[in-house]
């Protein structure tokens, strides 16, 4: 059975709609177990054994390796700006939610953020 057929039939990943294709993946974009197995493969090779991660088990096929390239700042400025803005917003929302859960009186459930230093300083 071909990799694409296996992915389409057995995968729980949204990539099953695209025959299991995840697109270009660079260092740090996946969990370490997956990344280590992926970068050990040769072009066209499929992992000999399933790779286990916190997301489950994975069969990995490496289609091709491409070299990265250095881009001029002007080419990536908008993407960097967008990334930094979105990252800042996510951090602010996370801190705000920690603050709210620290103030809340909730019974029957432990919330780790209730004991966070930020919540305790209120």
- DSSP 8-state secondary structure symbol assigned to residue 122: -
- Based on the domain organization, do 89 and 43 belong to the same domain? no
Report the number of distinct structural domains present in the chain.
Answer: 2
Which residue reads 């992915």 in tokens?
7
Rounded to an integer, the average pLDDT of 21-33 is: 91
pLDDT of residue 20: 87
Q: What is the mean pLDDT of residues 85-94?
A: 96
CATH number of the domain bearing residue 54: 3.10.50.40
pTM: 0.56
Q: Kindly state whether residues 95 and 50 are assigned to the same domain.
A: no
Q: Which of 8, 120, 11 is nearest to 56 (CA)?
A: 11
Share of the chain above pLDDT 70, in %: 89
Domain membership flag for residue 68: no
Q: Are residues 45 and 92 in the same domain?
A: no
Structural domain including 90 reads: 73-120
Q: Is the same domain home to 79 and 53?
A: no
77 and 54, same domain (yes or no): no
Domain assignment present for 112: yes
Please give the mean pLDDT across all residues of the chain: 87
Same domain, 49 and 89: no
Q: What is the predicted pLDDT for the residue at 113?
A: 58
- Examine residue 104 and state whether it is found in any structural domain, yes or no: yes
Per-residue pLDDT at 111: 63
pLDDT in tens, 50-70: 999 999 999 999 999 998 889
Q: Is 52 helix (H, G, I), strand (E, B) or coil?
A: strand
């Amino acid at each position: 059975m071909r990799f694409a057929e296996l992915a389409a039939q057995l995968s729980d990943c949204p990539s099953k709609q695209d025959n299991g294709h995840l697109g270009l993946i660079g260092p740090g974009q996946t969990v370490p177990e997956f990344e280590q197995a992926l970068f050990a493969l040769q072009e066209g090779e499929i992992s000999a054994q399933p790779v286990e991660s916190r997301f489950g088990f994975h069969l990995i096929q490496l289609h091709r390796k491409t070299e990265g390239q250095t881009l001029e700042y002007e080419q990536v400025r908008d993407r960097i700006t967008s990334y930094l803005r979105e990252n800042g917003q996510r951090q602010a929302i996370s801190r705000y939610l920690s603050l709210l859960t620290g103030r809340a009186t909730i019974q029957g459930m432990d919330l780790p953020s209730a004991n966070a230093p930020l919540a305790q300083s209120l």
